[in-house]
Chains A and B, each alone.
Chain A
Amino acid sequence: MKKVLKGDRVGYFYILPALLFMFLFIFFPVIYNTIISLQDVTVSTLLSEDKAFVGLANYISVLQSKEFLNSLTVTVIFTIACIVFQFFFGFLLAMIFKKNTRPFQLMKAIMMVPYIIPATVNAILWKFFFATKGGIINEALLALGLIKDRIGWLNQPKTAVVSIIVANIWCGIPFFMILLSTGLSNVPKDFYESARMDGANAFQRLIFITIPNIKTSIQASLVLGIVYTFRCYELVYVMTAGGPVDSTQLMTLYSYKYSFVTYNFSQGATISNILLLILLAVGLLYIKMMGKDEVM
């Protein structure tokens, strides 16, 4: 920023509309949400003027509840499982589809589709895959002789968790593939050539050349992936709605349930605020990480 154009004050007018909009519909609601979480707001007190201020009572009761511990556990398991597989397959696809030939580019483009179709449709598609009768997963396992009877994937706690993880892995792979393949395309080709000359094998080239050179892409994809998976909502809501017996109750679904099913707005707000704080911590870590490489 050596030289600045004249009339810098004009700059504020460009930013103001978007900022004002975000203030009205994001920042103010977030503050409002925090206020609700410090009050006692249920359906009966919603419209009354003076809502009782209860301090951190909601936080204490939420943090002590078994349901919260369950939803946190489910969310963490879901996130870790999804990210591990999405990263692995995304990386694999990025490596394999590195070649710039037309058929490869076309295949890569088509593989983007799972990422851009609405989560609602993805959820219904995977509900069909995991259907007890007529679902291809059961049919395939039967044909391979791996199971004897059809499994009710979405009707049992453990298999339901597996189902939502598989569904989410599928739609997240393209995200990792694209981010990582951009990173890969920026690694100079002669790095590989000279490594090959020195007798490095494929595995050594991966560890000593590829990974260090795409570190930024790896970091960005992992942190963003974790944030997006941690706040996943629609896919699971449509597939299982948190059930059976809360086995797929992600924190987002848990919060929604309190606010819009049992109308305990304060509890719902408290849960979403805890979720927000977790994501904020991850987000700030990301910003700190990126800050080193990127001049804001």
Chain B
Amino acid sequence: MANYTKQKKISAFFLNLVAILLFVVMIFPLYWMITASFKKEVDIFLSPPQFFPVNPSLQAYTAQLTSNVFDIFQGLGNSMFISCVTMVLAASLSILAAYGLARFRIHGKKVILLLFLISQMLPQVATLVPNFLIFKSIGLYNTYGASIFADATLGIPFCVLMMRTYFLSVSKEIDEAARIDGCTSFQSFVRIMLPICSGGIAVSFVFSFLFAYSDLIYSLTYINDSTKWPVTVGIYNAIGRYGTAWSQAMAFGMITILPILLIFIFMQKYIIEGLTAGSVKG
């Protein structure tokens, strides 16, 4: 028996070692981005490279924030505006639809679910040209609206399918009881179901935001005016002009992902929950 515990201890030690090793490999690119953003441009090209910035410098950040190539504050503001409006739009529409699909007898329910499932798998390029023409003809081209509507189509199918599993997991008796007490379906939805499924609702909001914030292709295609560009389009356009100004590019990257990292720190539980609920049960 003593031998068995000893063996177990050794294998646990190796397991931990392998775990830490894999972890280090996985996050090394992130580490490298962070450290590079704090290096001076000349230090990037040292060989062998510095694994830790020996002369840490904010040069890349100050250069980036004061650059006249792309106004990064404006870009962040545009991103925030587009993502927040998309988030509210996509999450509200999908929470309502998910409730309808989970609680009512709907003709063609299977077809509707199938449509949402399929639209989650569509390649974005399939709607790019037609939406470009549609937005042009209804005057939405080159407005935030174009990005918002396009980005919402990413969040809606995901959130509908994911939220539906949340609503399905709540026992029917709960809102039946509310209905017997005289609530309308909408009242029981707002007062009973939404609070019970608040976790899922948080997931819907977080993912709708993330989808919109990460988008490049829609905003790149539908917005021509650089003062309306979200930060992803800004960084894409700026990178060509940097050439090999890597520390500045990494600083730009860091600024871009900062809002995402903050959301991740506070909403991590919901992000992991949403990923699993949305994909496995989809």
Contacts and interface: CB of A to CB of B under 8 A. Distances in A.
Contacts of B232: 118, 120-121
Interface in B1-52: 15, 18-20, 22-23, 26-27, 29-30, 32-33, 36, 44-45, 47-49
Interface stretch (A55-63, A133-141, A154-162): A133-141
A32 B126 CA distance: 10
B279 interface: yes
A104 interface: yes
Interface stretch (B57-65, B66-74, B109-117, B195-203): B109-117
A11 B253 contact: no
Given A112-B271, A114-B29, A33 B214 contact: no
A175 B122 CA distance: 19
A14 B244 contact: no
Interface string B106-143: 10011011111111011111111111011000000000
A209 interface: no
B182 to A, nearest CB: 12
A168 interface: no
Interface residues of A, number: 102
A135 to B, nearest CB: 9
Interface residues of B, number: 97
A113 B27 contact: yes
Interface in B83-123: 93-94, 96-97, 99-101, 103-106, 109-110, 112-119, 121-123
B280 A220 contact: yes
Nearest to B255: A121
Interface in A1-49: 1, 3-8, 10-15, 17-19, 21-22, 25-30, 32-33, 36, 46
B250 interface: yes
A232 B209 CA distance: 20
Contact of B244 (A96, A131, A220): A131
A231 interface: yes
Nearest to A107: B23
B152 interface: yes
Nearest to A9: B104
Contacts of A1: 105
Contact of B153 (A5, A25, A111): A25
Given A27-B119, A139-B47, A179-B275, A272 B216 contact: no
B260 A116 contact: yes
A273 B131 CA distance: 15
A2 B257 CA distance: 48
Contacts of A8: 104-106
B235 interface: yes
A15 B97 contact: yes
A259 B123 contact: no
Which residue, B100, B101, B217, B264, has most C-beta atoms of chain A within 10 A? B100
B12 to A, nearest CB: 9
A268 B50 CA distance: 46
A275 B19 contact: no
B125 A256 contact: yes
Contacts of A238: 216, 236, 239
Interface string B241-282: 000101001101100110011001000100110011001111
Interface in B203-237: 210, 213-217, 221, 232, 235-236
A260 interface: yes
Contact of A30 (B49, B122, B275): B122
A146 interface: no
Contacts of B125: 231, 233, 252, 255-256, 259, 268, 271-272, 275
Given A22-B157, A33-B130, A173-B26, A119 B124 contact: no
Top 9 A-B residue pairs of the complex, sorted by shortest distance between their CB atoms? A11-B104, A14-B100, A18-B97, A29-B130, A32-B130, A231-B123, A118-B214, A15-B100, A29-B127
Given A27-B119, A120-B236, A124-B253, 7 more contacts: A18-B94, A18-B160, A33-B129, A118-B232, A131-B246, A272-B129, A287-B114
24 contacts: A5-B176, A14-B99, A14-B101, A14-B104, A15-B106, A17-B93, A21-B93, A22-B116, A28-B134, A33-B127, A107-B20, A118-B213, A121-B232, A126-B29, A131-B246, A179-B279, A217-B280, A220-B279, A238-B239, A251-B123, A268-B129, A269-B129, A272-B123, A273-B126
